[in-house]
Structure 1
Amino acid sequence: MRTLLRLCMIVALACAPAFVPSAAFAAEGPRVLVVTTGNEAQDVADFAVERLQMEARRWNFTLDEGTPEDLADLGRYEVVMFVNTGPDLLDAGQQAALQSFVEGGGGFVATNSAAASALDWPFYQEMLGATVIVPPAEPKSEKPVTFNAGSPITEGLDEELKVNERWYSFDPQPDETAFTVLAQLASTDPVAWSSDRHKVFYASMGGEGDTWGDRDFLQLMRQGIWWAAGEEGVLVQNSEDAAPSWPYTLTFVLFVVAVAGGGSIAVWRLDKAEAEKEADAAKVGEPVGV
């Protein structure tokens, strides 16, 4: 009976992690509406959304694909995201809905050509804080990007990132008294910044698929989304969705079997040693346990 009880305790301890709720599910993460309408390269836009969906599953936020028409009902979203969107994207009603959302505390994240999606809308230019020159002034080229510390959006990004993009220029560039420059080129031209007035984050990178495949760029984007959503807590990785679940389930089962098996052997050896001690004590007439 003593052996059976010890074995049950070992198995219970080994299985305990399976019944502890993941920290990532302690609270529902923010919900993001992502729009790619009018982009110049659908394959890049599709890959960007695919990568963002992986980030959403891994880091506990929800990503819904939509169109400008979905801006009419933003009540269930914390963030609107324009990924490489095209020009003349919004009609008057959609502009009004987005402006009301941002001025009411909603978050807005944009990448690459989204800076040119509403050149004739004053609020959009004010919100982004810079006016883009289109088309990009230079052909695609690889340039080093450095990140600035001090913002939760760039937390952990302390290495130089080499990015191969068609680089946009801005005139005027974001006013550093009203915006925080998060990343820049060697020329000091900013390529990512956030607003000090609204929950608005923009990155001029993201026009190429290779950029969306870079883990540092994805970290920048997910932290930008988290910041724009007004989240103050630390991002917690949901390890259950970081990769397909079956290899990890199999590994866990094997771990339990190994622990239980090893524990059984240890308990058997302990009981055997105790039995031998009791037998030896009985032979010499000593009280058991002395």
Structure 2
Amino acid sequence: MHSFSKNLICTCVLALMCSFLSAQQFSALLITETAGWQHESSFDAIPAMHKLASRHDFKVELKQKAMRLNDEWLAKYDVIIMINTTGDVFNDAEQAAIEKFIQAGKGWVGVHAASDTEYDWKWYTDMVGHMFKIHPVVQTAMVDVHDNSFPGLNTWPKRRMWTDEFYEYKDGTRRPGFNYLITVDETTYNTEAQWGDNKSRGHGDFHPMSWYHNYDGGRAWYTNFGHVPAVFSDKDFLDHLYGGIFWAAKGKK
């Protein structure tokens, strides 16, 4: 065999080995677009997500503007992550592409204001499960963990203090098929808030904060936490966040 051919084969084999060795666990699309309130914590979330991707060896691509999403473009991702999006950020074609993405067995992750997004898109609101209504001021409360076996929650105690912006939802009642991971104890903080005619009533004994479910062929996971910028440098929160991303992307617990 000529030396040129030997060198070419060696180069190809080396390239394949490098490609295999550098293959990442999964690919995530991060969307932070807002058509309403802009959360300060979004600016902390972006570098935190890149560090999280580096630590856990997955690929994350940021799209601050969600425009021009289509089937072909989304096909390269395993999970869509929406952090503090607000308002109507997708047009009809983009909505259809996201529906097909989930129907193909892919995953969705929503953080905090992802539940304050796309109220008029019923498929999306059914996927989220509980849509934002109002919130009191940021404060400390006791939260309860209901499933420590879920990824990222294995080091969390059953009950702990947490400081954040605790959403009240339009409907906070349990939904069939939903798996609730964390709730907040309303007796440990002031639930009162009023914005004009929009008034907080609280949810009572069951006030969900994080949940997941299988949806329309794919997977959806949501956490209410993520308003306070400092949580994006908090190891416990990042473990919780990565656990949800991992499950949504891989379907493994």
With normalisation by structure 1, the TM-score equals: 0.66
**What's the counterpart of residue 281 of structure 1?**
none
Tell whether 2:221 aligns with 1:225.
no
| Larger helix proportion of the pair | 1
Distance 1:106 1:196, change over 3 A: closer
Q: Are 1:195 and 2:213 matched, yes or no? A: yes
Q: Distance in 1 between matches of 2:208 and 2:39?
A: 26
Alpha-carbon distance in 1 for matches of 2:55, 2:149 = 22
The 5 Å alignment of 1:120-199 reads: 120-133=120-133, 136-149=134-147, 151-159=149-157, 160-173=159-172, 175-187=174-186, 188-197=206-215, 198-199=218-219
Distance 1:141 1:202, change over 3 A: same
Aligned match of 1:99: 99
Report the Cα offset of residue 123 of structure 1: 0.3
CA displacement 1:80-139 (0-9 Å, x = unmatched): 011001111111111111111112211100111111210011101111112321xx3311
CA distance in 1, matches of 2:28, 2:109: 10
Q: Does 1:88 align with 2:88?
A: yes
Equivalent residues in 2 for 1:269-280, closer than 5 Å: none
CA root-mean-square deviation:
2.3
Deviations 1:166-204 (A, max 9, x none): 221113226343100011112331100001334100111
- Does the CA-based 8 Å contact 1:148-1:154 persist in structure 2? no
Which residue number in structure 2 is paired with residue 210 of structure 1? Answer: 230
8 Å contact from structure 2 (residues 49, 60) kept in 1: yes
SS in 1 for 2:28: strand
Report how many aligned residue pairs link the two structures: 209
**2:26 maps to which of 19, 30, 47:** 30
- 1:4-52 residue CA offsets vs partner (Å, 9 max, x unmatched): xxxxxxxxxxxxxxxxx9xxx5852111110111173464212111111
1:46 corresponds to = 43
Return the structure number with greater strand share.
2
Residue 58 of structure 1: aligned partner: 55
Which whole-Å CA distance do the structure 2 matches of 1:107 and 1:123 have between them? 14
36-45 or 84-93: bigger deviation = 36-45
Distance 1:69 1:212, change over 3 A: same
Match of 1:117 in 2: 117
* TM-score, with length taken from structure 2: 0.75
Change (3 A) 1:98 1:141: same
Aligned-partner SS, 1:69: coil
Structure 2 distance, partners of 1:70, 1:212, is 28
Determine helix, strand or coil for the equivalent of 2:51.
helix
- Cα distance in 2 for partners of 1:174, 1:49 equals 32
Q: Aligned partners of 2:50 and 2:236: how far apart in 1?
A: 16
Q: Deviations over 1:31-80 (max 9, x none)?
A: 11101111734642121111111111011111110131253220100000
